[in-house]
Amino acid sequence: MYHAPRKVVRVISGHLGWVRSVAVKPGTRWFATGAGERVVKIWDLASGESMPSRHPYLFSYGEDKTVLCRDLEANKIIRHYHGHLSGVYALSLHPTLDVLVTAGRDASARVWDMRTKAQIHILSGHTPTVADVKYQQSEPQVIIGSMDWTVRFWDLVAGKTHVTLTPSARSRSTRSSTPSRRANNIKKWTCLEGAFVCNSGGTARF
């Protein structure tokens, strides 16, 4: 199928260091970026201009082992989430509950009560760095990808692994599925049982 050539619509600049992360809030016209100079900026998606947000909170994380919650209306940090033993590389918010999960180089993911800062669970079992984490309302509630080449589905009620996906898995299913990623290969799995569906070429980021 033919696709018209894609072109750059706008170049947004303003950071003084490498841009390491981008987060877009669905249904709004703004997004946030974090960079190497330890600054988080809020941008208007349509105009590309830096702007404040009506959303009350912004979460950031980094190599200093901490996770911060900033009140955007007051423009100040109101909560620190301490517990990781090394750099934090990923964060995801629950879509309906005041709960967040963070993960990083200490090979664990940590589940936090957003308001009280209490640590609800430590999700351990991976060996090296946990590279990515996704929160969702349906089962499995947390999906974690690690540099040990596995993806784990977690049940947060029990705080235990529900399914572990490995590169050698080859079972097939026709149920709704979720993609996972590794270099030059996209693997597709069913989201509930973790059954392998298919491979496809190319490099992907989700």
Would you say residue 1 lies in a domain? no
* Assigned domain for 2 exists: no
Do 50 and 114 share a structural domain? no
Most confident of 8-17, 18-27, 31-40, 94-103: 94-103
At 51-69, the pLDDT tens digits run 664 447 889 998 999 999 9
Q: Given this model, what pLDDT does residue 89 score?
A: 92
Residues 23 and 112 in one domain: no
* DSSP letter, residue 103: E
Identity of the residue numbered 52? P
pLDDT (0 to 100) of residue 177: 44
Same domain (yes/no): 62, 162: yes
- How many structural domains are present in the chain? 3
Identify whether residues 90 and 142 lie together within a single domain.
yes
pLDDT score for 80 = 94
What does the pLDDT read at residue 53? Answer: 47
Q: What is residue 11's DSSP assignment?
A: -
Residue 44 clears pLDDT 60, i.e. is over it: yes
Is the same domain home to 138 and 125?
yes
Task: Tell whether 199 and 150 lie within a shared domain.
Answer: no
Q: Is residue 106 in some structural domain?
A: yes
130 and 188 both lie in a single domain: no
Over range 152-156, report the average pLDDT. Answer: 86
Do 159 and 173 share a structural domain?
Answer: no
How high is the pLDDT of residue 79? Answer: 93
Residue 85 in domain: yes
From residue 121, how far is each of 97, 108, 110, 157 by CA, in Å?
15, 10, 6, 9
Is 69:93 a contact under the CB 8 Å cutoff?
A: no
Q: For position 160, what pLDDT does the model report? A: 81
* Judgement on whether residues 46 and 141 belong to the same structural domain of the protein: no
Are 70 and 151 part of one and the same domain?
A: yes
Which residues constitute the domain of residue 128?
58-166
User: Which one of 37, 55, 73 terminates a domain?
Assistant: 55
Model confidence at 40: pLDDT above 70: yes
Q: Report percent pLDDT > 70 for the chain.
A: 84
Q: With a cut of 60, say whether residue 9 has pLDDT above it.
A: yes
Distance, CA of 121 to chain centre:
17
Instruction: Count other C-beta atoms under 10 Å from residue 106's C-beta.
Output: 20
Q: What Å distances lie between residue 132 and 8, 72, 117, CA to CA?
A: 27, 25, 21
Residue 124 and residue 81 share a domain = yes
Who has greater pLDDT, 181 or 156? 156
